[in-house]
Amino acid sequence: MRAHRLLSSTLRTQRRAFSASSSRLDRYGFIGLGQMGYQMAKNLQSKLSPSDSVCLFDINKDAMHRLAEDMRTSQAGGAVVEMAENVAEAAKEADTVITVLPEPSHVKGVYSEILKSDISTKPRVFIDSSTIDPSSSREVAKWIADAKQGQFVDAPMSGGVVGATAGTLTFMLGSPEELVPKIEPILLRMGKRVLHCGIQGTGLSAKLANNYLLAINNIATAEAMNLGIRWGLEPKTLANIINVSTGRCWPSEVNNPVKGVVETAPAGRDYAGGFGISLMKKDLKLAIVAAEEANAKLELGARARDVYEEAEKVESCKGRDFSVIYRFIGGKE
């Protein structure tokens, strides 16, 4: 605790020094320091000017203090770092608030708390990089607009923890056109590509449509590989044929579920790391909800959801990369 207090005091002193010497201070609030948010916040802070500040908050206090210490000791320069006691404090003085949260309920809870406790007179931008359903995102955007507290945009990302750590994420941005020049440079401090999808909510629509396709391609690839191998084909031979033919897809070419086909794929390390099966299950469920709201028919969605739910309950599949579906269907390992 003494070390935490000392770090907080040091950071506050550092901020005062910068504030006194700088003519402009861009303030950021960053809420949600899980596996993705932790690395995103770290990259953001390192690429900001010393005249800027980042105020961190997460319900996991250890993660928050650990990140602040990482920023202080591992970065040369970068923005001043602060730690907030609660959500409202993280957002109160910020010009830009970034949230990376697990579920729609968490996003609604955080923004409800901000609006209850924090009435600001300056224009702010709220960037939500959580993967939630578009209708929940639009609901929060309306709260922000009705309270005249700024503008809320959705910017879910692709690239996983590896991309978050390397700063190579792709962001799918749902935002008014006029805000893109302001938001894009912020996101590019945490990633390498920003794809403007249209108005608020469309970033999430794009992300969920993509992940719906990915979820089904993954099952189909596992089944096709298992089928060919049981017919006597060598795994690499079969994968090479698929990848120069019409069956080619990301699960067959990059994330092949059969050990030894792609050396860097999770299949080669007992399906450790990668995009967790629970996350794929979550995104698939969100896509199904969004499809129902849009009256879009999904013939394969319900069955794919059942496959991921059943697989996650199996001890040898639980907590592993979603390509472990190959093991779940009895693929030869």
Enumerate long-range contacts of 160-167, CB under 8 Å, 24 or more apart.
Answer: 160/36, 160/274, 160/275, 161/35, 161/36, 161/39, 161/273, 163/191, 164/35, 164/36, 164/38, 164/39, 164/40, 164/43, 164/190, 165/39, 167/43, 167/191, 167/192
Tokens 């920023």 belong to 71
Q: How far is CA 224 from CA 233, 249, 269, in A?
A: 11, 12, 21
Domain ranges of the chain: 2-199, 205-328
Distance CA 298, CA 316 (A): 29
Annotation: CATH topology of 205-328 = N-(1-d-carboxylethyl)-l-norvaline Dehydrogenase; domain 2 (1.10.1040)
pLDDT tens column, 69-88: 999 887 567 999 999 999 99
Given the residues 42, 92, 207, 281, select the one marked as catalytic. 207
User: How many C-beta atoms lie closer than 10 Å to residue 198's C-beta?
Assistant: 14
Per-residue confidence band for 162, with pLDDT thresholds at 50, 70 and 90 = confident
To which residue do tokens 């690239």 refer? 159
pLDDT score of 91 more than 90: yes
Active site residue 207: yes
Look at residues 71, 85, 76, 79 and name the one whose alpha carbon lies nearest to residue 39.
Answer: 71
Check: CB of residue 215 under 8 Å from CB of residue 280: yes
CB neighbours of residue 71 within 10 Å? 21
**Spatial separation of the C-alpha atoms in residues 132 and 279, rounded to whole Å:** 11
Q: What is the pLDDT, as a whole number, of residue 72?
A: 85
pLDDT of 17 strictly over 60: no
Average of pLDDT values for 108-137? 91
What pTM, to 2 d.p., does this model score? 0.87
Inform me whether the pLDDT recorded for 12 exceeds 90: no
Taking the C-alpha atoms of residue 30 and residue 84, their distance in angstroms, rounded to an integer, is 10
Query: Which DSSP string do the residues of 173-221 spell out, in sequence order?
Result: EE--GGGHHHHHHHHHTTEEEEEEEESTTHHHHHHHHHHHHHHHHHHHH
Query: In Å, what is the CA distance from 167 to each residue of 54, 97, 109, 159?
Result: 17, 19, 28, 9
pLDDT above 60 (res 9): no
Is it the case that residue 23 has pLDDT exceeding 60? no
pLDDT band, very low/low/confident/very high, at 118 (cuts 50, 70, 90): low
C-alpha Rg value of the chain to the nearest Å: 22
What are the distances in angstroms from CA 64 to CA 38, 58, 59, 60, 61?
8, 6, 8, 7, 5
3-state helix, strand, coil in the chain (%, to 5): 55, 15, 30
189 with 43: CB under 8 angstroms?
yes
Give me the residues paired with residue 174 across strands: 154, 198
pLDDT higher than 70, residue 140: yes
Q: CATH number of 2-199: 3.40.630.30, 3.90.1150.10, 3.20.20.60, 3.40.50.720? A: 3.40.50.720
User: CA 268 → CA 74, 265, 279, distances in Å?
Assistant: 32, 6, 20
231: DSSP letter? T
Question: In whole numbers, what is the pLDDT of the chain averaged over residues?
Answer: 91
Q: How many CB atoms lie within 10 A of CB 238?
A: 22
